[in-house]
Amino acid sequence: FVIEFDQPFINYGTWADKGKTIKAGDKALAGTAVGAYLQFKKGAKVTAKMATSYISQEQAYLTLKTEIKPKTTFDQTHKAATKVWNDLLGRIAVEGGTEEEKATFYSCLFRSNLFSRKFYDINEKGEPYYYSPYDEKIHNGYMYTDNGFWDTFRTQFPLDNILHPTMQGRYMQSLLDAQQQFGFFPAWSNPGMSGVMLGNHAMSLLADAWAKGIRNFDPHQALVAYVNEVTNKGPFGGSSGRDGWKDYFVSGFIPTDNVGEASAKTLELSYDDFCAYNLAKMTGDTYYQNMFERQMYNYKNVYDASVGFMRGRTRDGKWVPGFDPKEWGGAFTEGNSWQYSWSVFHDVKGLVELMGGDKAVQTKLDTFFNTTSDFKVGSYKQEIHEMTEMVLADMGQYAHGNQPCMHVSYLYNYVKQPWKTQHRVRAVMDKLYNAGPKGFPGDEDQGAMSSWYVISALGIYSVTPGTDQYVIGSPVFNKATVSLENGKKFTVIAENNSKKNVYIQSATLNGKDLQHNFIYHSDIMNGGTLVLKMGDQPNTQRGIAEEDRPFSVSK
């Protein structure tokens, strides 16, 4: 790093916490808990300019000269930074709603734009290059960091595929570059591998980008890399490679015998394998399409019809005894079976069939949202904050403060009761988010929590990243206009909208009647207008035909 001051300093030195030593006149000191100090003339008003680089001090100085030119004042820099943020936030303009709802929306949009973080510099030729945390070498191109895909594949990346497709294209190539440099995809970069949480969700990102027209990477290379990912256990945590991969491929599920959180992993890996299947299908790669076609249905192998829930299973095929759907941990990650039994993002129709059909699932969803919010700590052996947040939310077993539940409000769209989705998503936005210090329902998780609000407030949601559909919810604002990178605009108009009028009475897309409970990515990116007429009573005749259900792979 470099720091440049506009005033001369009169003294300098180093300090060390150990021994509480201060050495005036020292220019260098190595070790832990050490630092340097500068002393300026008493009363001096000092402006400091600083730049950092993981590549070199010379690059840091180049960045300083490029981004904050000589003689640039603090006020000028502040004004330039304000313009950058106003341009980013201005990509969505909302009208109507309360001032607090607007503050909540733009606060969430701000936080969602904090991630992912650039991890590259621009050289003297204006070209991107970076120090790789994966092989500790310098490479040409783009790199990004500080993102946990277990959280963000659900909300932030689908939102960014609308708002920031250029960045997303660069990001997808950086995923393949990181995999080449390390041997495994990053899953929770900080700035390099950490491997925390679970799943192989880099494939979700790649498939979602391709489905939405972001195609500046080699899909065959992505699939080859994914096969390596899913047939090996990487050196870091549950999301580096694949825990229990042999059992998963041979038996169709991960047993609890030697792998923690086994059923959660089976469920999420089934979805990831669907993403690989769909990427292969979209690109005409029948070899990999056939490879993953069976595995994407592995979620069925941890569903116990006798209790009506997903649960843990041992290698011999027996169910783990002592089942309680409100017990956290064990076969699940930061949640319980009530929450994870809905984690079949790619095949809701198949899940509905497992659970006994539309009416059975309607009842089960109602119970999920209306039952008591009590819990058993299970293998956690103590109350963790996600449990506390669920109780405070008081929405049954729905735990919006953690990611596995985030899509569940939208599932009524799949069982002929879209009006209940409209009610639920507005209740979550109204009750769990606001502009005050208590207006956030859980961990931000690299923009995941904020992105859920932003995209839901527009009236849509990506239940199945890796496809080109968005499921319809209930928008917060009377009008929201998205200014796209391609110069077009997509507008959502909610006529007669209010906190009470949350139910869609009728819908048109570009002037044509819309009965479906979904729209396509192309409907957004081609520009157009979605008009929803709202009311205070549900329209129980709209969106109930078979063809109105959103995507399921078995549909």
| Residue 553 lies inside a defined structural domain of this protein | no
Domain extent for 56: 2-82
High-pLDDT (> 90) share of the chain, %? 93
Query: Is the pLDDT score of 238 beyond 80?
Result: no
Q: Give me the CATH number covering residue 468.
A: 1.20.1610.10
CA 358 to chain CA centroid, Å, is 29
- Averaged pLDDT for residues 305-323: 98
Which CA distances in Å does 384 have to 41, 402, 495? 51, 11, 42
Contact at 8 Å (CB) between 169 and 157? Answer: no
Whether the model clears a pTM of 0.75, i.e. scores above it, the answer is: yes
- Averaged pLDDT for residues 90-103: 98
**72 and 97 inside one domain:** no
- Averaged pLDDT for residues 374-383: 98
Query: Is the pLDDT score of 555 beyond 90?
Result: no
- What the block records as the tokens of 245 is 């991969």
**293 and 342 inside one domain:** yes
- What the block records as the tokens of 248 is 């998963």
- Averaged pLDDT for residues 303-321: 98
pLDDT for 108 equals: 97
Spatial distance between the Cα atoms of 480 and 418, rounded to a whole number of angstroms: 21
> What is the residue whose two structure tokens read 């195609």?
215
CA nearest neighbour of 124 among 66, 78, 176:
66
Spatial distance between the Cα atoms of 550 and 413, rounded to a whole number of angstroms: 7
- What the block records as the tokens of 485 is 């990178």
High-pLDDT (> 70) share of the chain, %? 100
**Count of H-run helices and E-run strands, the chain:** 18, 23
| Residue 431 lies inside a defined structural domain of this protein | yes
Spatial distance between the Cα atoms of 519 and 482, rounded to a whole number of angstroms: 15
pLDDT band for position 313 (cuts 50, 70, 90): very high
Among 27, 53, 82, the domain boundary falls at 82
- What the block records as the tokens of 532 is 């929803």
pLDDT for 69 equals: 87
**174 and 69 inside one domain:** no
- Averaged pLDDT for residues 151-170: 98
Sign of CA dihedral 157, 161, 167, 170: positive
Among 82, 103, 122, the domain boundary falls at 82
Contact at 8 Å (CB) between 155 and 453? Answer: no
Residue 516, Ramachandran bin (φ over 0: left; ψ between -120 and 50: alpha; else beta): beta
pLDDT for 27 equals: 94
pLDDT band for position 19 (cuts 50, 70, 90): confident
Q: Please count the structural domains in the chain.
A: 2
**208 and 316 inside one domain:** yes
pLDDT for 348 equals: 99
pLDDT band for position 402 (cuts 50, 70, 90): confident
pLDDT for 239 equals: 80
pLDDT for 275 equals: 99
- Whole-number mean pLDDT of the chain? 97
Number of CB atoms found within 10 A of residue 77's CB: 15
- What the block records as the tokens of 241 is 């490679």
**416 and 302 inside one domain:** yes
| Residue 554 lies inside a defined structural domain of this protein | no
Q: Per residue in 325-366, pLDDT tens?
A: 999 999 999 999 999 999 999 999 999 999 999 999 999 999
| Residue 471 lies inside a defined structural domain of this protein | yes
pLDDT for 325 equals: 99
* Cis peptide bond prior to 116, omega within 30° of 0: yes
Q: What share of the chain is helix, strand, coil (3-state, %, to 5)?
A: 40, 20, 45
Among 36, 56, 82, the domain boundary falls at 82
Number of CB atoms found within 10 A of residue 545's CB: 12
**343 and 297 inside one domain:** yes
**76 and 125 inside one domain:** no
Task: Give residue 86's identity as a one-letter amino acid code.
Answer: N
Query: Is the pLDDT score of 372 beyond 80?
Result: yes
Query: Is the pLDDT score of 195 beyond 80?
Result: no
pLDDT for 453 equals: 98
pLDDT band for position 458 (cuts 50, 70, 90): very high
Query: Is the pLDDT score of 305 beyond 80?
Result: yes
**48 and 194 inside one domain:** no
| Residue 19 lies inside a defined structural domain of this protein | yes
Q: How far apart are the first and last CA of the chain?
A: 55
CA nearest neighbour of 504 among 539, 541, 460, 461:
539
**60 and 165 inside one domain:** no
Which CA distances in Å does 81 have to 5, 109, 236? 20, 16, 37
CA angle 542, 361, 295 (to 5 degrees): 110
| Residue 536 lies inside a defined structural domain of this protein | yes
| Residue 527 lies inside a defined structural domain of this protein | yes
List, in order, residues 6 or more apart from 160 with CB less than 8 Å away: 112, 167, 168
| Residue 555 lies inside a defined structural domain of this protein | no
**29 and 122 inside one domain:** no
**393 and 491 inside one domain:** yes
Q: Per residue in 37-85, pLDDT tens?
A: 999 999 999 999 999 999 999 999 999 999 998 889 999 999 999 999 9
CA nearest neighbour of 203 among 277, 101, 266:
277
Spatial distance between the Cα atoms of 415 and 280, rounded to a whole number of angstroms: 29
**175 and 236 inside one domain:** yes
The bridge status of strand 528-535 relative to strand 489-495 is: parallel
